[in-house]
Amino acid sequence: MRKETRSVFLEGVRDGIPIALGYFAVSFSLGIAARNVGITAGEGMLASLLCMASAGQYALFSLIGEAASLLEVATVTFITNARYFLMSAALSQKIDPGMKHYHRFLFGAVVTDEIFGITIARPGYLDPRYNYGAMAVTMPGWAIGTGLGIIMGTLLPARLVSALSVALFGMFIAVFIPPAKENKVVLGCVAAGFALSLAFELLPLLSALSAGTRTILLTVIISAAAAFFFPVKEAKDDE
């Protein structure tokens, strides 16, 4: 049993290392944004440990720079990160009914886009040990990158900072390309996501919505349509 536990944990570490490397690079630019509003390296690292969300933290640091109220900061961060409710709802369908509540709380506290991607792709019930392994490398990668970005500040060339800022998109692509190559429905959802995202960006009324709100609407619309037209048939367990 102990050997199996270690094996599952190490699988999470293995799958989390590429994500951690990406987080480390991307969070450099986040750290520079934090430095510009007067946040120290320690404060930035703590913020990254408590809120692993790039868009949410950018919004957070921007509001701090504008001297926004605590209520405004909490509300905007909540809305920006609301998409994680949808991811958590999807993950809840893969939770063993007998899983202890503290496991649910711990791995539910660190549901990022990339960790959601590698977790939801695993067959069967969720194993919290896998998530703990992924968290063990991704959380330090994100926090340390933020701290170093604050420390280095403007020492990095502007072109390098710009290049690091697109690394997150590379991680997103790495998450959805493999399943899209194997499943035409997933491929269709990805294509629809690109097309509708462009439409939402260009249409007058929809473009006025925040990026977080548009993400929620697109996720609900595309996932609901996929579930309605292409329902997943549950295989009967003969055991």
pTM: predicted TM-score of the whole model, two decimal places: 0.65
Q: How is 138-206 classified by DSSP, letter by letter?
A: HHHHHHHHHHHHHHHGGGS-HHHHHHHTTHHHHHHHHHHHHHHHH-HHHHHHHHHHHHHHHHHHHSHHH
Cα–Cα distances in angstroms (integers) from residue 28 to residues 39, 54, 137, 164, in the given order? 14, 11, 17, 7
Place of tokens 């399943």: 179
Q: What is residue 236's predicted lDDT score, i.e. its pLDDT?
A: 47
Q: What is residue 238's predicted lDDT score, i.e. its pLDDT?
A: 43
- Angle of CA points 16, 20, 22, to nearest 5°: 120
Q: What is residue 138's predicted lDDT score, i.e. its pLDDT?
A: 92
How far is Cα 173 from Cα 167, in angstroms, rounded to an integer? 10
Q: What is residue 137's predicted lDDT score, i.e. its pLDDT?
A: 93
Average pLDDT across each block of 10 residues of the chain; the chain has 239 residues. List them in order. Answer: 71 90 82 84 90 80 80 77 83 85 84 86 85 91 90 74 63 74 87 88 80 71 85 56
Q: What is residue 210's predicted lDDT score, i.e. its pLDDT?
A: 66
